[in-house]
Amino acid sequence: MRISQRAQRVEPFYVMELAKEAQALSQAAGAGGRPMIYLNIGEPDFTAPPLVQAAAERAIRDGLSQYTPATGLPALREAISGWYAQRFGLDIDPTRIVVTAGASAALQLACLALIEAGDEVLMPDPCYPCNRQFVQAAEGRAVMIPCGPEQRFQLSAEQVRTAWTPATRGVLLASPSNPTGTSIERDALEAIAREVRARDGITLIDEIYLGLSYDSAFGHSALGLPDGLGEQVISVNSFSKYFNMTGWRLGWLVLPPALVAPVERLAQNLFICASTIAQHAALACFEPESLAEYERRRAEFKARRDWFIPALQRLGLEVPVMPDGAFYAWADVTGLCQRWGIPMAGEPASSGSWALAFELMRRCQLATTPGRDFAQAEPGRWLRFSTANALPQLQEAIARLEAAL
C-alpha cells in the first residue's frame, strides 16, 4: 500500500511513545510495585464541574443530539463572547466565533484556510509539536526559530523581521506556551503583529491556556491589541485546559469577519459540527457557579506551581523562566545528566533528556516528557514536568527525585 508523502512527513508524537513505555513499566512492576507518577501529559486532574456534567446528562435525556450549525450552537457562541467581555473586557462579535471539535480541529481549519503549498510559517522553538504538524498537513513548512530563556522562549519582532522571506505566510504563536508556560509580553506581541501586518501576513495564536494565567502583567488576549491589530488576529482556544473538558473535544476560533465563511465551508465538509452534547454541556461552563469553581481551580494550579518549581530548583533542575501560565515546568537537565553519567550529545535514544526520562521511569517511577517533541534546538537540554497533578503527587515526585540524588 502506498502511503502519502504528507502522512510520512508527520513526525511521531514522542510524548505518547513515552506514555506507552511508562504504562508498560508500571504493568511489569505489578500490584506490589511502587506506582508510577505521571507528570508527562498536559491534562488537568480536575474533571468538568457538576453543572457541566448535569447539562450533558440533561441534553442526552432531552434528545438534544442532532447536528448543530457548523459554526456551533448560537447560544454557545454568545456565551463565549460574553466570557471575553467579562474576563478580558473585549467586545467580540459572536459571529466571529466558530466552535470546533477541539483546538486541534481549530488549528487544522485555520491552516487549511490560510496556507498554500510551500508557504512558510514562523514559529518559536520550543513549541507544542502538533502545531507545526498542522502546518505540514496543509502542505506548508514550519520554520522553527530558536528562542531562549532570555526572551521567555518566545519570538521577537526582530526575529520575525529577520526571518521573513517571500515564502513566509505568517506566524504561529502560543501564549501561554506549552511546554514553557510563558506568555509573550504585550508590547512584544503588538510589535510582532505590526511586523506581520506590514507584510500582509497572518498572526495565528494559540491561546488555549489563556484562562490559566497567574500574573497580571500577562493574561491578555491578542484579540485586544490596539489599532485594529486584534481584529486581524486568528485566535485558537479550547474547553480542555481552563474549563477542564479534555476528552469532550471542544474548542473555538475567533476569526476576522472575512475568514468566517471559508472556515465554515471547510468545517461543514470536514467535521459537520462539534459534538452536540459537548456544546450543550459547555453552556454551563459560563454559569456563575462554574466560573467560581474554575477560578478556585486556577488558584490551585498556581499553588502547585509555586511549590513545585522552587523544589525542582533546590534539586539542581533549573527552571530559568518562571511560568506565568498553564501548568508546566520547562527544566534544564544538564546538571542531572552529568551527575548520572548521561551524555548530552549523541543519538537521541541514549543521550540528554530522552535518556534521562527513561532513567527517571526506572529509578523513580516518574514519567516526564523530554524536549525531543518540543525543541529542535538543544532538545536534549530540556525536560517538561506537568504540574497538573494534585499537590501530594507532586510532593511524592520531589521526594523520589531527592532520594535518587
What are the average pLDDT values for consecutive 10-residue runs of the chain, which has 405 residues? 85 79 79 86 94 98 97 98 98 98 97 97 96 94 97 98 98 98 97 98 98 95 97 98 97 98 98 98 98 98 98 96 98 95 83 93 94 92 97 98 93
Predicted local distance difference test score (pLDDT) of residue 270: 97
Q: Cell match 507528570: residue? A: 39
Q: What is the pTM of this model?
A: 0.94
pLDDT at residue 80, as a whole number:
98
pLDDT at 322: 97
pLDDT at 20: 84
In this prediction, residue 230 carries a pLDDT of 97
pLDDT at residue 358, as a whole number: 92
The separation between the first and the last C-alpha atoms of the chain, rounded to the nearest angstrom, is 50
